[in-house]
Amino acid sequence: METHVPTTDRDRLHSAVGERRWHAVIETLEVLWPHAVHESPAELLEVLELVPESVLDERPRWIRARDVLRSRATAELTPARGPRTVTARIADLRRAGRAHEALALDDARRALLSEVGVDTEGERAELHYQWARVLEDVGATDRALAEYEAAAGSAGTRRMRSLAGGAAALLAALQGERARAERCLHEYCDSTEPLGGAASAGLARALLRVDALDREGARTLLDAMEAESVGHRWALHLFVRALADREHQGPPHRPLRAEALHGTMPSAPSPSELDTVRIARYLLHTSSGRRDLAHAALGPSTGTEGVLGHLVVALRALDLVRIGRPAEARLVLAPLRGRRLAPRAELLMLVVSPDRSADESERIEALAAEHGLYRILTLLPDGERRRTGSRLAGLRTAVPVPCLEPAVTVVRAPLTSREREVAEHAALGESTADIAAALFVSANTVKTQLRSVFRKLGVSSRDELFAALARAPREVPADAWTVGVAVPRRSATAAR
């Protein structure tokens, strides 16, 4: 086939393809494209069909270029059926936001894995990796983690070992499996990998530091990451950044920078990305004291059944417990009881539960000690947190457990049962009209009771109401007390 493409560039291209140096292939295609797209499109398509999907994931422009060449190709130029075709189909459905449809290809994938050799041009590792991306998108993080490990273990190139190994480390850290995450980082991750491998590994290391209450160390790692290097890890980057910045007392630029990353959200985010953003928004809003917005950020339902979905459910229950609605919190947590949960989700569920048995308290200590999930313990009530910290210290667990929430030192004048009910609805962000409809009263009644609530709790807006309710007792005797000071009972005349 005649072409005006310089022979030296073509030789360089075919040499890079033969040696499977895919970054060099892409760089050479950048040079050849203006001429070859018109004069030798079949040759370009043949090369692009050989480039692994994981490489193209990081360079969407070449995915579009391949699609254009495919649309122009004649029937005889269509690639033969085989591992690459199935892998490409899985990747195409995932990129189009149709990961659930890709699950139907599981039988074909399994059949190919039984046929493809371990070192057949990296096809086995690529198939594992793309399937892991699909499972991660639909929220099956435990199965995705196993597939990433399989991809890293069967990879014939350093690039795939780093890419898949970094992803495995990040999901292991997300699940709360510290030992597994550290093993993946040690065995597979090359910090020089320029694409997703380094980003995933960096986020894994930062999350492990957050869990160990080393937020400054986590922020240092995150600050060293360039936003453009995060790629498809944008949602988990936002999540880890929000965790690291929570309760941060320094300049506000870090949380805002994390929120700005939300602008990179794709047009069709996956269910797991949506759950990740829900949690990140919740953390960012609670850090700024906007509990009403935080609760609203979690939404009424979750799109996944994996660790992220379970975390969303547990956080909803935490909000209900904090405003004194334990019965509703128990109902919210009920679907998680008796299920096999990831360590992070199980520990959070036990910590936010409104009541715990002795066995569950022991389980909290065991999970924290085994997986280093100390940050979640900061959500425990003061007394229980101190007791748990003391017992962990006795186990020679040398990690401090500082206070996250301020100790309850002042209890203001109590609320009537109806005022409490109105306040709880308002703290969760419901409008005056919605509260009135729920309680079968008029909107003016709701407004009057809210003014009384604000006065008694010493708050000036709904933004402050959530935290105040967490400190106010739900039921008090007729004679109410503040700390150390008796509040005189009103006379019958004053009551009237």
372 class by beta-carbon count within 10 Å (0-12 exposed, 13-18 middle, 19+ buried): buried
**pTM for this prediction:** 0.70
> What pLDDT does 118 receive?
46
Among the four given CATH numbers 3.40.1400.10, 1.10.630.10, 1.10.10.10, 1.10.10.60, the one describing domain 417-495: 1.10.10.10
Do 128 and 150 touch, CB atoms closer than 8 A? yes
> What pLDDT does 412 receive?
40
Select the more confidently predicted residue: 229 or 214: 214
> What pLDDT does 389 receive?
78
> What pLDDT does 296 receive?
84
> What is the tens place of the pLDDT at every residue in 181-193?
999 998 888 655 5
Radius of gyration of the chain (CA): 27
Q: State the DSSP H helix or E strand holding residue 123, giving kind and residue range, or none if neither.
A: helix 123-137
Mean pLDDT on 462-476: 64
In the predicted model, is pLDDT for residue 203 greater than 90? yes
> What pLDDT does 322 receive?
85
277 class by beta-carbon count within 10 Å (0-12 exposed, 13-18 middle, 19+ buried): buried
% of the chain surpassing 90 pLDDT: 18
> What is the tens place of the pLDDT at every residue in 256-278?
444 454 455 666 788 898 899 88
Do 54 and 200 touch, CB atoms closer than 8 A? no
In the predicted model, is pLDDT for residue 116 greater than 80? no
312: confidence class by pLDDT, cuts 50, 70, 90: very high
In the predicted model, is pLDDT for residue 249 greater than 70? no
Instruction: Give the C-alpha separation, 315 to 318, whole Å.
Output: 5
CA 252 from centroid of its chain's CA atoms: 22
In the predicted model, is pLDDT for residue 280 greater than 70? yes
- Which of 22-31, 36-45, 68-77, 245-254 shows the lowest mean pLDDT across its residues? 245-254
In the predicted model, is pLDDT for residue 198 greater than 60? yes
> What pLDDT does 193 receive?
54
Q: State the DSSP H helix or E strand holding residue 485, giving kind and residue range, or none if neither.
A: strand 485-486
In the predicted model, is pLDDT for residue 180 greater than 70? yes
108: confidence class by pLDDT, cuts 50, 70, 90: confident
AA letter at 305: E
Mean pLDDT on 167-172: 95
Q: State the DSSP H helix or E strand holding residue 173, giving kind and residue range, or none if neither.
A: helix 158-175
410: confidence class by pLDDT, cuts 50, 70, 90: very low
Select the more confidently predicted residue: 79 or 445: 445
- The total of other beta-carbon atoms located within 10 Å of residue 300's CB is 6
Mean pLDDT on 72-101: 69
> What pLDDT does 491 receive?
34
Select the more confidently predicted residue: 452 or 150: 150
The β-bridge partners of 482 are 485
Neighbouring residues of 474: CB distance < 8 A, sequence distance ≥ 6: 324, 420
Do 354 and 333 touch, CB atoms closer than 8 A? no
Instruction: Give the C-alpha separation, 100 to 98, whole Å.
Output: 5
> What is the tens place of the pLDDT at every residue in 283-293?
888 877 777 78
> What pLDDT does 348 receive?
96
Q: How far apart are the first and last CA of the chain?
A: 101
> Which of 190, 123, 138, 128 lies closest to 163, judged by CA?
190
Do 397 and 369 touch, CB atoms closer than 8 A? yes
Neighbouring residues of 377: CB distance < 8 A, sequence distance ≥ 6: 351, 364, 368, 385, 388, 389, 401
In the predicted model, is pLDDT for residue 197 greater than 80? no
Q: What is the 3-state secondary structure (H, E, C) of 252-288?
A: CHHHHHHHHHHHHCCCCCCHHHHHHHHHHHHHHHHHC
Which tokens belong to 462? Answer: 């709904």
% of the chain surpassing 70 pLDDT: 77
**Residue 214 CA: distances (Å) to CA of 205, 221, 293, 358, 470:** 11, 11, 27, 29, 27
Instruction: Give the C-alpha separation, 468 to 459, whole Å.
Output: 8
> What pLDDT does 492 receive?
35
AA letter at 20: R
> What pLDDT does 72 receive?
66
> What is the tens place of the pLDDT at every residue in 346-399?
999 999 998 888 888 889 988 988 898 989 988 888 788 888 877 777 665 544
Question: Where exactly are the structural domains of the chain?
Answer: 313-394, 417-495
Do 367 and 346 touch, CB atoms closer than 8 A? yes
> What pLDDT does 403 receive?
38
240: confidence class by pLDDT, cuts 50, 70, 90: very high
74: confidence class by pLDDT, cuts 50, 70, 90: low
Which tokens belong to 92? Answer: 């195409």
Select the more confidently predicted residue: 231 or 141: 141
As a whole number, the mean pLDDT across the chain is: 76
Which tokens belong to 242? Answer: 């929000």
